[in-house]
Structure formats: structure tokens, C-alpha cells
Amino acid sequence: MEDSKSKSLNFLEEIVQTDIAEGKYPQGIFTRFPPEPNGYLHIGHAKSICLNFGLAQKFGGKTNLRFDDTNPMTEETEYVESIKSDVAWLGFQWENELYASNYFEQIYQFAVELIRKGLAYVDDSSAEEIAALKGTPTTPGTNSPFRDRSLDENLALFASMRNGEFPDGAKVLRAKIDMAHPNMHMRDPLMYRIRHVPHHRTGNQWCIYPMYDFAHGQSDSMEGITHSICTLEFDVHRPLYDWFINKLEIFPSHQYEFARLNLSHTVMSKRKLLQMVNEKVVSGWDDPRMPTISALRRRGFTAASIRNFCERIGVAKRDNLIDISLLEFCIREDLNKIADRVMAVMDPVKLIITNYPEGQTEDLLIENNPEDLETGKRVVPFSRELYIEREDFMVEPPKKFFRLGPGLQVRLKGAYIISCEHFELNADGSVKEIHASYIPESKSGQDTSGIHVKGTIHWVSIPHAIQAEVRLFDRLLIVEDASELGDDFVKFINPESLQVIESAFVEPSLAQATVGEAMQFIRKGYYCLDRDSKPGHLVFNRTVTLKDTWAKEQKK
RNA sequence: UGACCUAUGGUGUAAUGGUAACACACCAGUUUUUGGUUCUGGUUUUCUAGGUUCGAAUCCUGGUAGGUCAACCA
């Protein structure tokens, strides 16, 4: 085998491999990604998606996309659409697009069957009463006064529930298990509740809806899901998952749990993400600072980089906090190979090449990507007056400063070596303009000057440059671990998570940029054109900075 | 004062009773017309106490620490 030396399997892959080796699933393995359509997908979901689809792909199985739409109060078609497009964008194809609501009739029949078996009963108690009789983790619960209704009465009452004869909350259907069970989920869990609420798919067809525990396992089973993977908090649900399947004597899907993804410097809970949207701390679900798939996409992350990230974080059962620098590494790794290099000056200062003829323009050819010469070259106009980055010039440069300063030389990327002659200051002491002379025989690609300079800086030609807005994004929170933070987590939002540069200057080739297209602004970072761009007003998002060892050096 | 899950460098993940490794991060150096990239090297690890064994990160027992569970949410 070509990859006999391949990496060791994760614990889920081992389970699948063992099951296959034992011939447990001759029909092949089946997984499913089961989101509730009540919000947008985030990078934590991406982990689950990669796990579910990846598991099936690796072992020749298939994966369904199933919407867990059993709560009509919270679910909307809008979310269904965004979830589908996110999963597809991530690069996965589902075998079937399914909905738990497809199974409402069958699930209802399952419930009737359990009533017939004496394993379910209709309870007239209120939510408060049920909670009161439930006990606590350390004290057993008490049987409901309605627990011993006759089979016929239960059947009739459940049918009436379905027929809409009772208002919301008047009755529920419960499994008859054990009110003293040490696992709270086994203390006669609710199976059905009454909700006179239209459903985004079934409309007014139903007024009773199955609970998660009586829908998820049953849906898995009906679809022949062999390996139903979910996050750790469902671990305590597994005995119930198995109990229903057992008593119903249906296809035995099995549930396995893994630890959810936690990312440093961000929040992941739907509640907190929603809070930021509602409090307008961010501009929306796809504000590029959000950890949602749609935000990452807008920010310039590639699907490949996210898949790669999910691969690298691995999967296990212990709580984890992944450093966001790994995500940043993954996107840099990908973009380094595929992003064309261009020049953009964020904080411009004027540079005049004193010995370059006024009015002259030179079309320089500069490689698009030194990592991939196949990408060819582009034309970049050069002239007497340029913008360079303010931080690339220092009036009193320290020893290890390889850029421009009085008497210093640098190369202008793809152009000439220049020598700084003098500079002028504004009234406030800031640099107004820099005067330098160029060395004609040092032209990039045909340099006969014999001069070697330590630094190369980027630039744009003033008469040719395009003014643009640039949005610099950085880590959302100033704290690593947000898990301990309450609603006041917004206090810890990084004030520099968004900085807008209204007037940056980019090279003219960027007039042709398309929304979402990834590019590297040389020496600055990876960027993409935002959808807010309009003709005459380009808006760029910074996906991630380049690694900056100089900045690190300076902090020392 | 319950049930269940978990414990390996700074962060993750491997090692499936036989030399604790890989990635990120960090630190050096190399390369470089991006202080990017590349390449090389380095620092840093088995929660604890017993037990089984020729041999334990791995198996057993106790302890400790963290997490999950008491929605008519999923």
C-alpha cells in the first residue's frame, strides 16, 4: 500500500476501522452532519463537518446532510440555505439532503409503538411540576401521578394531542424508564411536546413535535447511519439514544462523542455570537472578525485552509483550546502558494526620485508569485514620484534597520536601488517628503551596479496609484480563553480587532481585482477584495498579516 | 455529594506493554530583490501515590484536577 506509512488513525477512525474489519457493516459506513437550522455555521461546525465527511471518505462510506428541525420556534429556511452553501463551499458533497421533519409521521408511529409496549405515557403535569418531580443529580426523582395510565387511555390521549385538542404545554408524552436513574436523562424523558407553531417545512401539519432525544437517534437509524458522531455534551444522552433504538428494535446506529473545538481569542457559542450581532459590536454574522464560516470566507480564508486546520487540530475526547495562531499558519501556508503578489502602501509618505525625469513613466515587469513562476509577470508603472510606507523611513535609523534613512540605500521592489539624499518635515515634525536618487544601472533583472542592499521596500507610483479603503482585522478578543467570561465578554473585545484605513494606495493592476480574490500585499499580509467595493471605491480585507520578525525584534 | 467523560512540552495531537514523537508557537542560524518563503538546529513533556510486569504514558486501585448532566432547546 502506498500510504502504509500513513499517520496513525484518530480514535474515531480506529472505531470505524475495527468495525469494518469485523464485518459489522457490509453495506458500508454512513455518517451524517446534523445541524439545527437556527443559525450560521462556525469553525466548530467545520470540525464536525470535516470529521463526518472525512470519516466516510476515508473508509468508502457516505455522508448525509440532515437538518435537525424538530423545534419550529427557532428554525428558518434562511438558515437551511446558508448551511447548505457553507458545507458546499467547504468542499463536501452530501449523499442526501434530509430533514428530521421528513420523518415526523414515522417518529409518531414509533411513539405509538412504545405506548403499546407500555414504555411511554401521556403526562398532564406542567413543566414546573415535571421539573419538581425530576429530583437532582444526587437525589432520585418521583413518579408522576399520570405514570400508570392505561394503554388505551395513553393511545387516545396521544392521538388527541396530535389532533390539536390541547393547548401548548397541556400534555407531553414521556418515556417510562426510571425516575431514580442516576443519569438524569433516563428519568422519564420527554418525547413529544405540544407546539401550535407553524414549521418551516411542514407548515401547520403538526402541532406536536418530537424532542431531540426522540428524533435524532430515530433519524440516524432510519437513514442507516452507522457512526453517529457528536460532541461530548451528548455523552450522557447515549444511554437514552440506545434505549429508544433497543426498545423500538430498529437499525442500531451508534453514537460516539468527541471534544468540541475551542479557539483562543474568540467566542464560539451561538449565544455570544448572537449577542455581538445584536449589540452591534460586529456588523453582522459575516463580519470578518467572527468565527463563522461565512465571515472567514469573506475575510479571505480558503476552504482548503480550513480543512487543513481541522486536520491538524486532530480529534480526541479532552477539552482543548486551540491557539488561533495555528489557524493563521494554515491560511498563510495556503495563500503563500496561490496568492499573487501586489504592492499597496497603507500609510503613504512621498518619495521623489530627484534624478528621474519629470513626466516619465516606465512599465516594469514584476513576477506575480515567486513561489510559482508559472503565474507570470504583470506591468507595474514607475515614475518620479512614489509613495512608500511611512514606517520604511526613519530619520534616525537604528543599526539593524534595513530600510531607508538619511544616507541609506534600499531597493524599490522590482525597480531600482535608491539612495536617500534628504528629507523635509511637516510643522508637526512628521516626515513630509523624502528625496532620493536612483541608480539607473541597478534596474531589477539587469542590475550591473554591483551594489548590494539589505532591504527591499514596496512602493506605488503616485500618478498611477488607486486610492482604496483597507480594513485591518485582528484577533477578536484580548484574552486567550473566553470560556470563563460571561455576558460582559464584550469588554474584552480587542479594540484593534478592526482598523479602517480610509486612504491607502494600491498599484493600478488592482482595478481588475474581483471580490474574494486572494492576494498578497508585499511585506504586509494577505488581503482580498471585499464585497462592499464599488466602482471607484475599492475595499480590501486583511485576511492575515505576514509573519513579522522585524516587529518582534523591535519589541525586545 | 450522584452518574458519566477526561488528564502527555506553552498549545494541540501521536506512541495500541518495549528508545516519548509530530505540528503550531518560541529561540538561533541559512536562503532570499518580501525582515515573507525555504532549509537546518535548539529549548520545553507523560497529574499524583501505590500495584501488576523483566519492562508502564499505556493495564489495575486510590487520590487530585478539569469538564458534562437536573430546557416542553439541540
Whether A190 CB is under 7 Å from strand B: yes
Mean pLDDT value of segment A394-401: 94
Mean pLDDT value of segment A332-340: 98
pLDDT value for A288: 98
Whether A515 CB is under 7 Å from strand B: no
Whether A180 CB is under 7 Å from strand B: no
pLDDT value for A6: 56
CA A333 to the chain's CA centroid: 17
pLDDT value for A556: 72
Residues of A known to be catalytic: 36, 260, 270
Residues 426-445 of A with CB under 7 A from strand B: 443-445
- How far apart CA A546 and CA A525 sit, in angstroms, is 4
Mean pLDDT value of segment A515-537: 97
The spacing between the Cα labelled CA in A175 and the C1' in B62, in angstroms, equals 38
- Give strand letter and number of the nucleotide nearest A138 (CA to C1'): B2
Whether A70 CB is under 7 Å from strand B: yes
The spacing between the Cα labelled CA in A322 and the C1' in B16, in angstroms, equals 26
Whether A184 CB is under 7 Å from strand B: yes
All three cell numbers of A488? 460582559
Q: Is the pLDDT of residue A2 over 80?
A: no
What is the predicted ipTM?
Answer: 0.97
Residues 243-302 of A with CB under 7 A from strand B: 259
- Give strand letter and number of the nucleotide nearest A333 (CA to C1'): B37
- Give strand letter and number of the nucleotide nearest A447 (CA to C1'): B33
Q: Is the pLDDT of residue A1 over 50?
A: no
Mean pLDDT value of segment A446-452: 94
- How far apart CA A412 and CA A77 sit, in angstroms, is 53
Instruction: Kindly report the average pLDDT of chain A as a whole number.
Output: 96
- How far apart CA A460 and CA A507 sit, in angstroms, is 6
The spacing between the Cα labelled CA in A3 and the C1' in B19, in angstroms, equals 25
Question: Is there a contact between A489 and A481 (Cβ–Cβ < 8 Å)?
Answer: no
The better pLDDT of the pair A147, A5 is held by A147
Percent of chain A with pLDDT over 90: 97
Whether A398 CB is under 7 Å from strand B: no
CA distances from A7 to A3, A20, A317 (A): 9, 19, 19
At A162-172, the pLDDT tens digits run 999 999 999 99
A13: CB partners within 8 A, 6+ apart: A55, A58, A59
Whether A422 CB is under 7 Å from strand B: no
The spacing between the Cα labelled CA in A343 and the C1' in B9, in angstroms, equals 40
The spacing between the Cα labelled CA in A31 and the C1' in B12, in angstroms, equals 25
Positions of strand B less than 7 angstroms from a protein CB = 1-8, 10-16, 23-27, 33-38, 66-74
Strands A417-425 and A120-123: unpaired
The spacing between the Cα labelled CA in A489 and the C1' in B46, in angstroms, equals 35
CA distances from A43 to A133, A159, A268 (A): 39, 42, 8
The closest of A325, A317, A333, A335 to A266, measured between CA atoms, is A325
Q: Is the pLDDT of residue A555 over 90?
A: no
Among protein residues, the one whose C-alpha sits closest to the C1' atom of B10 is A323
The spacing between the Cα labelled CA in A181 and the C1' in B1, in angstroms, equals 16
The closest of A256, A238, A273, A255 to A44, measured between CA atoms, is A273
At A275-298, the pLDDT tens digits run 999 999 999 999 999 999 999 999
pTM: 0.96
- Return left, alpha or beta for A248; rule: phi > 0 is left, psi -120 to 50 is alpha, else beta: alpha
Whether A371 CB is under 7 Å from strand B: yes
CA A409 to the chain's CA centroid: 44
| Confidence band for A4, pLDDT divided at 50, 70 and 90 | very low
Residue A205 exposed, middle or buried by CB count within 10 Å (0-12, 13-18, 19+): exposed
pLDDT value for A554: 87
